[in-house]
Amino acid sequence: MKLDHDSPIPLRVQVEQLLDALARKPQYRDGALLPDELTLARKLGVSRGTIRSGISKLVFQGLLERKAGVGTRVASPQAESGIRAWHSFTREMEAKGITVQNFRLDYRQIEASKTAARALLLETSTPVWRVERIRGWGDKPVLASWSWFHPRLGLKGVENFDHPLYQVLEAATGAKPHHAREEFTAVSADASMARMLQVERKAPLLLRCHTVYDASSRPIEFAEVYYVSSRFTLTLDMKRGDR
């Protein structure tokens, strides 16, 4: 139960990592309440707000659940929002009879962007492997994507991402996607994006950002995907819960 106040890793990130590790201890996996925010703040020498932020992040990821007047505990399996059937984009399209074309593929090691670093719980300057792809069909690009991978996976830079992404990841690293956090935003194409996707400047695009986690709720991949709205429809199937 210690933080390194001299570490270059931000305290909020250290708190998230410590809470994640704490939640995996047997007594908490069996249902015991985690220490309250004030107790944790005093023991770790940080503000209560920093503790609350870390707890909120893990609640959002589905690892913890918090109830007013009760406390915080590890989420029960029924409360997890896991993905039951995980398909790559290529395989999804193949199932619809569409052959995906790769117009651009760039795989290199670079410093993590601020957004990617935040999603992967890394320092911004951390070197990570990134795949940039422009894909589509009918000789027209439909989407541009950037995927950043956590250094923990141990990618070597020789992996062939012409094949389905998660198939390549599992074969190379053993990592399996378990659940993800998705965000969708309506945006317009800037000059660079318009050239890549062969659309007019300011054409409507759908931006999909997702962070993919393994079964232990550790981030594997963060991706930003820009879809050409006029060439692609994204459908979400939803099921009513018991409550």
Convert the pLDDT of each residue in 40-69 to its tens digit: 999 999 999 999 888 888 887 667 888 878
pLDDT at residue 95, rounded to an integer: 65
Q: 115 near 147, Cβ under 8 Å?
A: no
Do 158 and 180 reside in the same domain of the chain? yes
Do 75 and 191 reside in the same domain of the chain? no
Tell me whether residue 4 is in a domain: no
Which of these ranges, 1-15, 111-125, 163-177, has the smallest mean pLDDT? 1-15
Convert the pLDDT of each residue in 165-204 to its tens digit: 888 999 999 998 888 888 999 999 999 999 999 999 999 9
Range of the domain at 182: 89-228
Count of domains forming the chain: 2
Which of these ranges, 16-25, 78-87, 117-126, 154-163, has the smallest mean pLDDT? 78-87
CATH number of the domain that residue 48 is part of:
1.10.10.10
Tell me whether residue 84 is in a domain: no
CATH number of the domain that residue 194 is part of:
3.40.1410.10
Do 99 and 213 reside in the same domain of the chain? yes
Tell me whether residue 238 is in a domain: no
Residue 33 is given by DSSP the state P
pLDDT at 236 over 70: no
* Side-chain half-sphere CA neighbours of 168 within 13 A: 18
Mean pLDDT of 12-22: 88
pLDDT at 123 over 80: yes
* Side-chain half-sphere CA neighbours of 228 within 13 A: 20
Q: pLDDT band for 85, please (50, 70, 90 cuts).
A: very low
Supply the mean pLDDT for the chain. Answer: 85
Do 50 and 118 reside in the same domain of the chain? no
pLDDT at 121 over 70: yes
pLDDT at residue 20, rounded to an integer: 87
pLDDT at 78 over 80: no
Strand ranges of the sheet holding 140-149, from the earlier edge strand across to the other edge: 101-111, 127-137, 140-149, 219-228, 204-213, 179-188
Mean pLDDT of 115-140: 92
Do 49 and 109 reside in the same domain of the chain? no
Mean pLDDT of 203-214: 93
CB atoms within 10 A of CB 150: 25
Name 193's Cβ contacts closer than 8 Å, sequence gap at least 6. Answer: 144, 199, 205, 226
Q: Rounded to 5 degrees, what are φ and ψ at 16?
A: -60, -45
Q: Rounded to 5 degrees, what are φ and ψ at 222?
A: -120, 135
